[in-house]
Structure 1
Amino acid sequence: MVAALLKVGRPPRDQVVFVCDTTELAVAAADLVKLIFGQNNLTSELCALLLPSNQFQHVARSNQKPDRYPERLSAPCKGKIKQAYGFAYARAKDKLAAAGVKDPLELDQRARDAGRLAESNTVAKFLGNVPVDHFVEVTLAAFFQIAQAVQPITVCLNENTSDSYSGANFKKGTQQIDAAQAMAFVRQRRDPDQPLFTDLDRTRRQQAFIVSLLRQLQDGGTLSSPSKLRALLDIAKQNTAISKDLDPLAFAQRASGLFDQGASLYTLPVKDFGTDDAGESINIVDTDEIRGIVRRLLGTGDGGATATTTPPPTTTGIPAAAGVVLDVVNGSGKNGLAAQVQEALAPRGFTRGATSTGTLRDATTLSYGVGAESAATALAAQLGLTATPSSAVEEQTVRLTLGADTTSGPIANLLADQTDPTTTVTKTPTPTTSTTPPAPVSATAPGANAPAATDLSQMDTGGVPCVR
């Protein structure tokens, strides 16, 4: 599941959202032989990072387009959220191989791009259609490399703990650990002497480690020194993947300043533990409760709603769309889809243009004529596409050509979220029910007050957090 939300400062409603994941990857290092690593090197942990957009206007590289990955899951499926990556990866790899792609490295990279897109879309949908601006993937190899560069790292535990699976063996209290111990610290998910130790405690361990690591880097001057920060990023760059439009150095410099203003890390609650049809362990969540928590953290209201007949608000409007015509061509093979998509995009601010049926195609495209670049680029970012200039499109016009891939992804989500066009949603107070977002408990509380798996927990970034 998406276990963690990290919210920096007190951001306004307009925010930049990152999806970040850590992946299991074997590390070829002599001093790590005794550590146990997963071999599937796919998604292990997921988080969403919420940052104020007014502080992150200059962290994107202006000379590159954002990543847009054509492969998507062909249809909704049921499973663990993190499995979206693996499902899309396998499907894309088979499809690319069938299309004649033979180079193993190209096959793997393009299939991973498909997995990253599917993971981002899945997280966005799960959290209540929160737009995702960037994707960051960090392998445990990169994690280890960074830990090596800055060791020893100061951490704190509320109890003695040990675990033969991860190699964890730590005493109660504040202590310094090396890189190998750091891997055990963030990977421990069980303790024979603490039967209530769960995956959620591992998530809080990882949060505490990140806080301690950032504090150490900041106190040592690394985060304020471009040369030191660049050297640290260079160490791990071979084992990370980020959106091509994101400048990691500019992002790290800006983010370090925001941590001084205060940040909170939240661990989302689960309702129960169980197994799926394949016998795999799963965490069972209340989706409505999760989305209520996210809405509250994003400052978008309490989620209560009643239908009225007032005109719908243009909450997803694109300022640059004013005066720009939107034409929609249906190449998906599904009757009436062009009109449905144009109706769904009406609140963006475009002038309705023509809807038509085109030749069948696999991939959706977005092109634009002279004068429509800004509007086209903004719409493309919302739909997970790349905006392409075209002399075949009239001035001040954007042309959206739908393909068979609209059965999933942002456009499918857009249509699924449409309500009766004669009604809109008006906020009303939410009654106290099982889906009312719970108040967070302290992630660092010890003993009987330690957070349970069913608790929403909050960790602040002052000092060295002490966790279970």
Structure 2
Amino acid sequence: MSEELPVDHPYRPRRRLHRRRRILALAALGLALVLVAALAAVGIYLWRADSGIRRSSAIVKSGAPVSGELNLLVMGLDSRVDVNGNPLPAAAYEALHSGDESDGGLNSNVLMYVHVPAGGAAATVIAIPRDDYVDLPGCPDGECKAKIKEAYGLAADQKSKELAAEGHTDAAAYQASRDAGRAEQVAAVEQFLGVQIDHFVEVTMVAFLQIAQVVQPITVCVKENTVDTYSGADFKAGTQQIDADQAVAFVRQRRDTSNPGLEFTDLDRSRRQQAFIASLFTKLKQTNVLTNPATLNRLVKVAQQNTVIDSQLGISDLTSLASSMDGSKMHFYTLPIARFGTDSAGQSVNIVDVSAVRAIVAKLLAPPAASSAPATAAPTSSPATAAPTSSPATAAPSSAAEETFGTGTTVSVVNGSGASGAAASLIRELGHYGFGAGTASTASSRVADSSLVYASGSQQVAQRLATLIGIDDLREDDDLGAGEIKVTIGTSFDWSSPSAGTSSTAGTSAPESSLPSPVSATGGGTTGPAPTDLTEMAGGGVPCVK
């Protein structure tokens, strides 16, 4: 293994690969994969405390969570190998229709934040769309902004290269790289949602297939006849029982090749997966699947091969998880996006409003008696150098003229402050003032003082911007194109006290009255809910979905 790993190395996120087959195969297995595996891990761990499930010290929290609460991240990887990096059985590759061990990577194609309140009340499960375009707190492999699913693979790749440069390429180095990926993925979700994550469960995509083989058949329901030749989906409208292979197709479907009018998206697939989980829990509650020793033995084997849990996740935590994930006590949510877009490389991404997402999450997690409580505090585990969640540009413009003074001007930001994600954060916030988004980059070394350069003809706008964000050093730069401004953030940049453009609302979350109310995940007719909708699904019964 050399220091410079090729872009198709298994650790690298798969946005760098453009083969049609791989893009289609990366559908992964979504909510069904991780929650079923989590449930299996619960039963297994309570039944056999040291059953051989791999433990990881990727995150070790120094601060205790709120007493009695459980805050867990479940990650489903698109890897085509087991947790030790070994190839899967040939039959598994054939059933998954997704290549062999050389395919896939370490994208966290499934990300869910599971919150269990104190006392074992109903669990809140929040699905994060995998292509949400967010800041990455550690800038792994030099990528400070990417799809949230890519945090794991980028960090694992960076750690692998560092260890390889030191001559470490053994199994221990492999696991150390995986731990780096887990830690970065947890930190990225914490930063995005504004929550603290105390534990995690990680599974590979084959876990879903193997568990479905244990508990098949499963009852599901779809609203319309639907066919997808890529995933193998072929379902009739109404309620039906499906086997394990059909279950894989059910949760992977992302399009309809016979009826393009159905307009499937990744968010529809998340809701399809939630419906599968709801149906599965209904079956588990009505049958004796998890009380059968032979069945438990098979689940133990699956978990040993394809499950990783953090080292601090204890029996009491798992007991709380098991009781709170009992069928109808669960509530599933899929976070909305602002719109579909592209990144600087032309890859499709979900454009998100981070402030709105955090406010939504805080509202979903607030106990009924304290629904007006302040938004959840920033995670205690975020790096000390992470970009502040409030910047001078977050203040609401006081007039229409102020709101649009940057129209026609593009602003790029170079981050020399050492604060992770600061450049992208400032560009995003300056959009409120009409500025076009330029490039976000990181300086080769930290600089003390902030500065601003502008193209000829942009002096007036540049001066207003410099005043807004508190920069004294500005000058004209003939190398910039018309309407361009470039800001360099130094370590002295003051995020909290701009000399103008502030208001008493700076840095605050959106008012609760402006937050979207959840819509039914099974609503919207044949077209389903819009990607901009926050959707909710109860955990019981057999939901009928798009």
Common topology (TM > 0.5): yes
**Partner of residue 159 from structure 1, selected from 208, 212, 224:** 224
> Which amino acid is the alignment partner of residue 184 of structure 2?
A
**Are the counterparts in 2 of residues 267 and 456 from structure 1 also a CA contact under 8 Å?**
yes
Alignment of 1:52-451 (within 5 A): 52-55=117-120, 73=140, 77-103=144-170, 105-128=171-194, 130-192=195-257, 193-195=259-261, 196-223=263-290, 229=296, 231-247=298-314, 253-260=319-326, 262-299=329-366, 431=511, 436-445=514-523, 447=525, 450-451=528-529
Measured at CA, do residues 75 and 212 of structure 1 come closer, stay the same or move farther in structure 2, by a change above 3 Å? Answer: same
CA distance in 1, matches of 2:360, 2:176: 34
CA distance in 2, matches of 1:97, 1:185: 40
Deviations 1:35-86 (A, max 9, x none): 4326223121211111124449xxxxxxxxxxxxxx9848770111111111
- Which residue of 1 is the match for residue 14 of structure 2? none
Measured at CA, do residues 194 and 253 of structure 1 come closer, stay the same or move farther in structure 2, by a change above 3 Å? Answer: farther
> Which amino acid is the alignment partner of residue 266 of structure 2?
D
- Answer yes or no: is 1:23 the counterpart of 2:77: yes
CA distance in 2, matches of 1:29, 1:101: 30
Deviation at residue 430 of structure 1 after TM alignment: 5.6
CA distance in 1, matches of 2:277, 2:233: 18
CA distance in 2, matches of 1:142, 1:40: 15
Deviations 1:267-309 (A, max 9, x none): 111121122222221111111111111010111756879xxxx
Measured at CA, do residues 432 and 219 of structure 1 come closer, stay the same or move farther in structure 2, by a change above 3 Å? Answer: closer
CA distance in 2, matches of 1:315, 1:149: 40
- Which residue of 1 is the match for residue 105 of structure 2? 41
Deviation at residue 23 of structure 1 after TM alignment: 1.2
> Which amino acid is the alignment partner of residue 97 of structure 2?
I
TM-score w.r.t. length of structure 1: 0.63
**Are the counterparts in 1 of residues 225 and 237 from structure 2 also a CA contact under 8 Å?**
yes
**Are the counterparts in 2 of residues 18 and 49 from structure 1 also a CA contact under 8 Å?**
yes
Measured at CA, do residues 164 and 16 of structure 1 come closer, stay the same or move farther in structure 2, by a change above 3 Å? Answer: same
SS state of the match for residue 283, structure 1?
strand
SS state of the match for residue 82, structure 1?
helix
> Which amino acid is the alignment partner of residue 40 of structure 1?
G
Deviation at residue 24 of structure 1 after TM alignment: 1.5
SS state of the match for residue 136, structure 1?
strand
CA distance in 1, matches of 2:78, 2:505: 42
- Which residue of 1 is the match for residue 440 of structure 2? none
**Are the counterparts in 2 of residues 161 and 168 from structure 1 also a CA contact under 8 Å?**
yes
> Which amino acid is the alignment partner of residue 156 of structure 1?
C
Deviations 1:223-273 (A, max 9, x none): 4678854652333321111112224x7655543432346111001111211
CA distance in 2, matches of 1:17, 1:158: 34
Deviation at residue 32 of structure 1 after TM alignment: 5.0
- Answer yes or no: is 1:462 the counterpart of 2:540: yes
Measured at CA, do residues 17 and 418 of structure 1 come closer, stay the same or move farther in structure 2, by a change above 3 Å? Answer: farther
CA distance in 2, matches of 1:21, 1:262: 22
Identity of aligned residues (%): 45
Deviation at residue 451 of structure 1 after TM alignment: 0.9
- Which residue of 2 is the match for residue 355 of structure 1? none
- Which residue of 1 is the match for residue 398 of structure 2? none
Measured at CA, do residues 162 and 302 of structure 1 come closer, stay the same or move farther in structure 2, by a change above 3 Å? Answer: farther
Measured at CA, do residues 32 and 101 of structure 1 come closer, stay the same or move farther in structure 2, by a change above 3 Å? Answer: closer
SS state of the match for residue 305, structure 2?
helix
SS state of the match for residue 241, structure 1?
strand
Measured at CA, do residues 34 and 102 of structure 1 come closer, stay the same or move farther in structure 2, by a change above 3 Å? Answer: closer
Deviation at residue 189 of structure 1 after TM alignment: 1.0
> Which amino acid is the alignment partner of residue 189 of structure 2?
V
Measured at CA, do residues 116 and 160 of structure 1 come closer, stay the same or move farther in structure 2, by a change above 3 Å? Answer: same
SS state of the match for residue 33, structure 1?
helix
Deviations 1:102-140 (A, max 9, x none): 31x322211111000000000000002x11011111111
Unmatched tracts of structure 2, length 5 or more: 1-29, 36-65, 81-87, 122-137, 386-492, 498-503
Between the two proteins, the alignment pairs up a number of residues equal to 342
Measured at CA, do residues 30 and 417 of structure 1 come closer, stay the same or move farther in structure 2, by a change above 3 Å? Answer: farther
Measured at CA, do residues 425 and 284 of structure 1 come closer, stay the same or move farther in structure 2, by a change above 3 Å? Answer: closer
CA distance in 2, matches of 1:51, 1:127: 16
> Which amino acid is the alignment partner of residue 522 of structure 2?
T
> Which amino acid is the alignment partner of residue 205 of structure 1?
R
**Are the counterparts in 1 of residues 356 and 510 from structure 2 also a CA contact under 8 Å?**
no
Measured at CA, do residues 296 and 224 of structure 1 come closer, stay the same or move farther in structure 2, by a change above 3 Å? Answer: farther
> Which amino acid is the alignment partner of residue 145 of structure 2?
K
Measured at CA, do residues 217 and 254 of structure 1 come closer, stay the same or move farther in structure 2, by a change above 3 Å? Answer: farther
CA distance in 2, matches of 1:116, 1:184: 27
Measured at CA, do residues 85 and 429 of structure 1 come closer, stay the same or move farther in structure 2, by a change above 3 Å? Answer: closer
Deviations 1:308-340 (A, max 9, x none): xxxxxx9999xxxxxxxxxxxxxx9x9xx9xxx
CA distance in 2, matches of 1:233, 1:302: 43
CA distance in 1, matches of 2:506, 2:372: 11
CA distance in 1, matches of 2:379, 2:341: 38
Q: CA RMSD in A?
A: 4.1
Q: Which sits farther off after the overlay, 159-168 or 252-261?
A: 252-261
Deviations 1:160-194 (A, max 9, x none): 11111111111111111111111111111111314
Deviation at residue 450 of structure 1 after TM alignment: 2.5
**Are the counterparts in 2 of residues 223 and 252 from structure 1 also a CA contact under 8 Å?**
no
CA distance in 2, matches of 1:142, 1:34: 12
Measured at CA, do residues 452 and 50 of structure 1 come closer, stay the same or move farther in structure 2, by a change above 3 Å? Answer: same
CA distance in 2, matches of 1:289, 1:217: 36
